[in-house]
Structure 1
């Protein structure tokens, strides 16, 4: 092919619906971690092997393993032929799109064009299809699962994909499960609209169990939601039933273990998690959950005054639990340094608890430099860094800097609220010590400004400026706020 023909082929490939055209791309994915999770799923979950092979091909291609990617796609096609013979052509659209892209990356341009030709023939049978792709439920469903597996930044888009798929096929179990899971995960992000409606995912998990009463993963995920609402009897019944139906399914084991940990049955949780690690030894989620279990035991032991005495056996047990926490939290975040922020914060807290302050400072410094992470994760980093400076390093000024950075992230979350609450506590304490503390008034002014409370902000900046008349920062803020209020008054109907 000439360069012109190659460029034309690339234009056609960009029109496809497949993993190579769906976000996020390489810079937003921990490829090694995603590869491990996909391989674990292929090993343990027969129902989703075709889907997992498809996404694994994409990951392998990005890592330069194109031959392996071809093998993955051949496996995906074989599984789709075996399991979806009646609707094979609907299911194969994404796989053929991936195959065309892999061949393109390998320089096999004629082969890539042959898969475009196959897609063109398939798409002719769908009235609303474009030349090379058709936005049918099977494609929306595949896209939803891909986005759900890739990155938390894509959960909103994944939700919309599952909704689209279910509009035309409302009884499809596979897409109902995906929709329930993404609703549940969005509810866990305290700043999203979904977070205020926890019954949404509960309703959707019940819908899955109407369609498939033996769906063990839906059972344990529903149980966790019920547990949050103190409906413990039904929750326990669901967990026990799920473990009977699918005792060796890692996702069932891990969510059941989380249920028992929250129920304060830590020994049962650890036993389940260790069993899960025997099946999927590299699971970052399982390691994190074990770390949380050991942390629960550590906090309970720490209430015992004997654990502080070097001569007492409880002291040795305390030291052992600290090392176990650190080991498992580190195992959780090392393969996912850009996405598993919570595990890193948990590790830093344990190091702080053990007074390993230089290590904690290094961790927070590295985390504060991260870009492109979810806003509530950024706020959580600022919150924890601020609490460390406040409580361990006894530096109110550095704590204020971190808490303000958390408030500046434009996202409503519990982490943001805690940053604000801590700032209010510090500034009130400073003003009780010295009612003429200009910096405290300046911080209050900035807090009100970030909250959109302009008049309160002006009042506090005015006090700060009165006490420190040469401070250009306060004068600039007053000028900016004054102009903003004038603009609002000139445009009273402005929404």
Structure 2
């Protein structure tokens, strides 16, 4: 293929809707941390594994692991064929776009063109599609998840993607989960439009549970919002139900632990987080949360020292809690140098 043909191929690739044309690039994300999170997700998540494989392929390609990226995309395609046979061509658009880009980066230009040809044939069935891509709910949804897995600067864009997906498919559980999740996160940030006024996240998390009453991830997020609004009894009911139905799901364990820490039951929170670490030992989020639990215990000890106990024992307990805080906060930021501001600040606070 001549240089002119290669340049023309690049122009075509730039028209695709896939991870290589969406906003986050190498300089905006901690690749090692994202890779670990995606691998954990693939290990534990039966429902969204194809989406995780797609994003993992992008990360591997950015790190120069193109053969691994090809393998990731083959896994994604196989899962989509098995689990979404009736809507395979809608679901495969992003995967084929990623495959074309990885082949391009490997210098396999003829192979890249072959995937563009496949996309062109698929897109002919959608009236509003361009030559190589179609902005349908499946594409908007996958873009939403991709942006949601990145840093918070992309949450507003993720929300718009899920909105677009729901306009055409309002009863789709996956897009409702994504939309409710991004609203949940945005509402915790002070200064965002979502943080003011009535909680939209509560409404949409309840909608998820209408569509799927066993969705335990939605239960724990809803419980945290209800706890925030002092609806403690209903919140506790959702937490207990989620832990009963998904006792070994780290996503459920970590938010249930946050619930119990806020409730004042730090011991219960630590137990749940340690259980989560046994399943996903490299989770920076879990280390961050454990650090917060030990920090709570440390400040309680400093505020209400045990005047009846021996002084040396109190000092020893304080030193041990400081050591544990430092260990877990450091674990929370050592693989995330770009996006771990809070653990860095908490570590500095404990050191001071």
TM-score (norm 1): 0.70
1:221 corresponds to:
221
C-alpha change, 1:232 and 1:58, in structure 2 (3 Å) is same
The equivalent residue for 1:359 is none
Matched, 1:338 2:344: no
2:39 counterpart residue number: 39
* Structural mapping, 1:88-237, within 5 Å: 88-237=88-237
Rounded Cα–Cα distance in structure 2 between residues aligned with 1:306 and 1:203: 45
SS in 2 for 1:147: helix
The answer to whether the 8 A contact 1:143-1:161 is kept is yes
Q: Which residue of 2 aligns with 1:416?
A: none
8 Å contact from structure 2 (residues 187, 199) kept in 1: no
1:280 corresponds to which residue?
A: 280
Does the residue aligned with 2:47 lie in a helix, a strand or coil? Answer: helix
Residue equivalent to 1:492? none
Residue 78 of structure 1: aligned partner: 78
Deviations 1:211-267 (A, max 9, x none): 000000000000000000110000000000000111111100000000000000000
Verify the 8 A CA contact 2:187 2:194 in the aligned structure 1: yes
* CA-CA distance at 1:305 after TM superposition: 4.3
1:481 corresponds in structure 2 to none
User: Any runs of at least 4 consecutive aligned residues in structure 1 with deviations exceeding 4 A, and if so which?
Assistant: none
In the TM superposition, what is the alpha-carbon distance from 1:306 to its structure 2 partner?
A: 5.4
Q: Does 1:298 align with 2:298?
A: yes
Alpha-carbon deviation of 1:137? Answer: 0.4
8 Å contact from structure 2 (residues 305, 314) kept in 1: no
Separation in 2, partners of 1:154, 1:303: 39
Residue 314 of structure 1: CA displacement? 1.0
Q: Which runs of 5+ in 2 are unaligned?
A: none
Q: Which has the larger radius of gyration?
A: 1
| More moved, 332-341 vs 48-57 | 332-341
1:340 to partner: Cα distance: 1.5
- The 3 A distance-change label for structure 1 pair 212 and 125 is same
Distance in 2 separating the partners of 1:30 and 1:111: 30
Q: Does 1:314 align with 2:314?
A: yes
Q: Which has the higher contact order (CA 8 A, sep 6+)?
A: 2
CA distance in 1, matches of 2:23, 2:33: 17
Shift in Å, 1:311? 4.6
Whole-Å separation in 2 of the counterparts to 1:68 and 1:288: 30
In 1, Cα distance between equivalents of 2:310 and 2:27: 48
Distance 1:244 1:127 in 2: 46
User: In structure 1, what is the Cα distance between the partners aligned to 2:177 and 2:234?
Assistant: 20
1:42-81 equivalences under 5 Å are 42-81=42-81
The 1-side partners of 2:311 and 2:238 are apart by: 45
Q: 1:12-64 CA deviation, whole Å, 9 max, x = no partner?
A: 00000000000111100000000000000001111111000000000000000
Q: How many pairs are equivalent?
A: 351
Partner of 2:329: 329
Cα distance in 2 for partners of 1:269, 1:306 equals: 23
Quote the offset at 1:304 in angstroms.
3.7
Q: Any unmatched runs of 5+ in structure 1?
A: 353-495
Deviation at 1:110, TM superposition (A): 0.1
Q: Partners in 1 of 2:95 and 2:42 — Cα distance?
A: 16
**Aligned 8 A contact 1:93 1:133 in 2:** yes
How far does residue 303 in structure 1 lie from its aligned partner after superposition?
2.1
8 Å contact kept, 1:187–1:198: no
Residue 35 of structure 1 contacts residue 59 of structure 1 at CA under 8 Å; is this kept in 2? yes
